[in-house]
Amino acid sequence: MPDEKPTLDHEHLPMKLGTEFISTFYRLLKGTTLYDRKSVVIDRLSQECLQVVNGIIQWEGNLLLKIVRDRFFFNNTRIIASPEKYLIFKAFWQEMRKRRIGGIEFSEAVSGEHLTDLACLLSGLEENNESNYLSVKEQLEHRRIESIEVGKLEFSKDEDISVDSEDQKKYSKEVYFRSIGLVKEVVESIHQQKTLPIRKAKRLMQNAVNAVMQDDSTLLGLANIKNYDEYTFNHSVNVAIYAMALGQRIGIPKKQLSHLGMAGLFHDMGKTKIPEEILNKTEKLSAEECSVMRSHPVVGTELIMGMKEWGELSARMMEGAFEHHLRYDLTGYPRLTQKKKITLFGRIVATADFYDALVRPRVHHRFPYVSEKIVGIMLERSGKDLDPAIVKVFINMIGVFPVGTLALLNTNEMGIVTQVQEDTELIDRPKVCLIYYSDGEYRKGKMVDLIEADEVSGDFKRSIVKTLDPNEYNINVAEFLI
């Protein structure tokens, strides 16, 4: 359904219409894999998509969506996903790519029946079959549907087209724990005044960028686990992951994403020079101790300045280190003598740093906030301490119930959030791995999608009632994520 009336802005119109088509058609396509085509759910999804399709045809004369490699073209204009629609574009792209379909065209207004036919035909296709488009064509002809055409997906031969999701998860896990090891190595090198393993860090962040681009769920889940022992090491890696995952959503190019990862990884390096007694002090810091603590952005920047040979990279790393405690309204620390705008990398790292500090219990905050509260706190700080545009993307990315959250459902089942919904309108309905108790421990049950609705009533089958603390139930969340 169109969100707002179409504007006459020629730059944005294809983007808006294309996004509406992709969102509603993806929902319908997904629906046909879950429900019977005669169900009320399919009927509703089909009507929603139909309005968009016929509206576009009325406005533009036709509707042609083409996918060329990982790019989308709507009526021959390239369209790029907005951060909120990033996941839905990606999910739609994966569905189409799996089926080797690279184009859909409507030449005139269609009926709801024909639109549902198309979605069912597409969802029933086998994976990786190059001639899929031919069988859809045949079926459409057979049903005398002349106004719809589909095309083949073009991709270059050397493209790695199918990635095993289990392998992907293992790879993400490896990247995460290797990064923790690396942060330890960096900290030791600083203490022993040895040269920092920058080349190694850079390579690792390039691997992390690949993992984030393929599937960031596992990495975001690992970052969100609250019961690690060593706060400092995990914190640096988590900030790097949040920053990169956010960066890809706002369209930062690949090379710079790894720089952003480095800026995240090294943002608190100045803390290695702060005495342990101050770092770990549980009581309130004295004014003097507080100013020592607050020197870490400057100390960190000085450490990075010693790595001049890294040129642009060290400039980006300095932004993370120097600016991560500066607030959006330029208060915070270090005190600026000249007010200048905080850089994009600085604002991203500051948001990631703020979030990670909120979710994790540590010396100064014994109890972590529950996820429902965190979104509220972030929004409260938005515009004052944090960049509102970045906060918005960040919340969409993390969801109300982040990956790794233990939740109680209205069915009295317990589950762990494994994936945030592609569709930001359904941000409170993630995908969940059910868990059950048997033989003295919690075990993995089936995967359920909280957008699943009852075929007759159309009501959601399961909803989250509240979140639970995994420590209280002795549940190691990581085991259920990987």
Least separation in angstroms between residue 109's CB and Fe ion is 55
- Overall residue count recorded for the chain in this entry: 482
The smaller minimum CB distance to Fe ion, of residues 201 and 432, is found at: 201
The smaller minimum CB distance to Fe ion, of residues 103 and 297, is found at: 297
The smaller minimum CB distance to Fe ion, of residues 74 and 322, is found at: 322
- Give the binding-site size for Fe ion (rule: CB under 5 A): 2
Per the DSSP assignment, residues forming a β-bridge with 106 are: 63, 148
Which window, 106-114, 263-271, 334-342, 462-470, contacts Fe ion (CB under 5 A)? 263-271
User: Quick one: CA dihedral 60, 62, 63, 69, positive or negative?
Assistant: negative
Three-state DSSP at 266 gives coil
The smaller minimum CB distance to Fe ion, of residues 183 and 212, is found at: 183
Per the DSSP assignment, residues forming a β-bridge with 63 are: 106
Task: Fill in the per-residue mask, 223 to 262: x = in contact with Fe ion (CB under 5 A), - = not in contact.
Answer: ----------------------------------------
Least separation in angstroms between residue 236's CB and Fe ion is 7
Distance, CA of 353 to chain centre: 16
- Residue whose pair of structure tokens reads 């569709």 in the numeric block: 423
Does 323 sit near Fe ion (CB under 5 A)?
no
Per the DSSP assignment, residues forming a β-bridge with 64 are: 105
Which window, 52-60, 266-274, 301-309, 474-482, contacts Fe ion (CB under 5 A)? 266-274
Does 353 sit near Fe ion (CB under 5 A)?
yes
CA dist 404 → 373, 448, 463 (Å) = 16, 15, 16
Which window, 112-120, 137-145, 278-286, 350-358, contacts Fe ion (CB under 5 A)? 350-358
User: Quick one: CA dihedral 42, 43, 47, 53, positive or negative?
Assistant: positive
Neighbours of 45 (CB within 10 A): 24
- Which string of DSSP letters, residue by residue, matches 13-57? HHHHHHHHHHHHHHHHHHHHHHS-TTSHHHHHHHHHHHHHHHHHH
The smaller minimum CB distance to Fe ion, of residues 92 and 266, is found at: 266
Type of residue found at 408: L
Residue 236: closest CA among 328, 321, 342, 326: 321
Least separation in angstroms between residue 1's CB and Fe ion is 42
Least separation in angstroms between residue 260's CB and Fe ion is 15
Residue in 20, 48, 268, 423 binding Fe ion, rule: CB under 5 A? 268
Least separation in angstroms between residue 209's CB and Fe ion is 21
Task: Using CB under 5 A, list all residues that contact Fe ion.
Answer: 268, 353
